[in-house]
Amino acid sequence: MLIALGVTGGIGAYKAVEVARGLQKRGHEVVAVMTHSATRFVGPATFEAITRRRVITDQFEAGMNADIEHIALASTVDLLLIAPATANIIGKLANGIADDFLSTLYTATRAPVLIAPAMNTQMFEHEAVRKNLDTLAARGARFVAPGEGYLACGWIGKGRLAEPDAIVAAAEAILRPDGPLRGQRVLVTAGPTFEDFDPVRFIGNRSSGRMGYALAAEAARRGADVTLVTGPTALEPPAVREVVKVRGAAEMHRAVMLRAGDMHVVVMAAAVADYAPLECAGQKLPKDGDTLTLVLRKTPDILGDLGHRRVSKGGGPLLVGFAAETENVVAHATAKRENKQADFIVANDVSRSDAGFDVDMNAVTIVGAAGAESLPLQPKSRVAEEILDRVEKLLAARPAEARHGSG
């Protein structure tokens, strides 16, 4: 995952080098963002050598604003970690002051924020600093508490930057929380697909992506390494290992097939188009006739292909499919489970206006090997929990090599 490591001007800045190294050892990419005063303690070249990336030291460096870098970085980082965080940066973040790259990045990102304060004991205990820390905590920021010990200013007390190992562990706990799905690679598809038939028009559907996004977020909360393959949606993606944005069914098929071999679980919550225009015109289609005929061709059945690959090759990920039905919900879902060789199918009646497509609630029937089980109308986040409870049970019943194998 990509971590923005904010380094501010405290004596503990040298320890941030160890933090960067520790994060990289665990497979993360680190981009260092140094405040001006941090560069007085440690040279940017040190971070550059360790992270093998350009170190950001200035909002107004030449070339910095060509792609509005703080916004570009804000939307791609999985975690903003500030270590050490001085009283000054804590004050700025708490109060929305954005006068340099790091403070601007904080206001621009929606990634989780982890702060490791470091300052003199008196400063740390000052009412203004405490208030700012409380404000940040209430906003969801998390902290690695400073340690007690000998401080650079000669005091003995609380305020010394936490040890790099503790900071790395805290970052890992946010990025890869411990949980029942820890170590499991889970791919979730979400959203509709858009099937273009000219440069400005497409055939789509009313899926909002909420069910798939809720599943991806819940699987990540349970510690899984989550890949979200998403069709076009207006939703903010959850913090997961990888988000792959696709448009049409064929592109989604490629994205899923490429990754499925490495997965322990694939949940196909996307409302994939069943048919797509045979051709996409190079130019906008003119409005010449009273009618317009589009020839559609069946799209590749992603779940079906995964199911059949599993049958022919053996092994393969646990497969969960969805079925959006308007009638005979259980019968259709049961047939779908057989046809696609899925472990279970989550069926919803999309003719209901209070559940299913484009609303926050869902009432589903889960059709598995043992039959059908209807769940009450509940938020999609709860439905995601129910689905993953069943995934966990099925995983536990699988042979150990399928659960822990390299895929």
**Binding residue (CB under 6 A) for ligand C5P from 100, 218, 301, 349:** 301
Site string for ligand C5P, 325-364 (x = CB under 6 A): -----------x----------------------------
Residue 398 is given by DSSP the state S
Q: Which stretch binds ligand C5P (CB under 6 A): 1-9, 79-87, 277-285, 301-309?
A: 301-309
Closest CA to 202 of 211, 189, 212, 193: 193
What residues pair up with 361 in beta bridges, in sequence order? 379
In the complex, the smallest distance separating the C-beta of residue 133 from ligand C5P, rounded to whole angstroms, is: 45
Out of 146, 316, 321, 356, point to the residue binding ligand C5P (CB under 6 A): 321
Closest approach of Cβ 17 to ligand C5P, in Å? 46
Least Å distance, CB 234 to ligand C5P, is 19
Residue 136 near residue 185 (C-beta atoms within 8 A): no
In the set 49, 153, 258, 311, the catalytic residue is: 153
Number of residues that bind ligand C5P (CB under 6 A): 15
Contacts 24+ apart (CB under 8 A), 290-297: 294/197, 294/203, 296/203
Q: Which residues pair with 245 in a beta bridge?
A: 230
DSSP character for 42?
Answer: S
- List the structure tokens of 350: 């999309």
Nearer to ligand C5P, 73 or 303 (CB): 303
Q: By the 8 A CB rule, do 211 and 252 touch?
A: no
Should residue 272 be labelled a site residue for ligand C5P when binding is judged by CB under 6 A?
Answer: yes
CA–CA dist 242, 247 (Å, integer): 16
In whole angstroms, the minimum distance from the beta carbon of 374 to ligand C5P comes to: 18
- Report the candidate in 297, 303, 255, 301 with the shortest Cα–Cα distance to residue 276: 297
Binding site for ligand C5P (CB under 6 A): 189, 249, 268, 270, 272, 274, 299-303, 321-323, 336
Residues with active-site annotation: 153
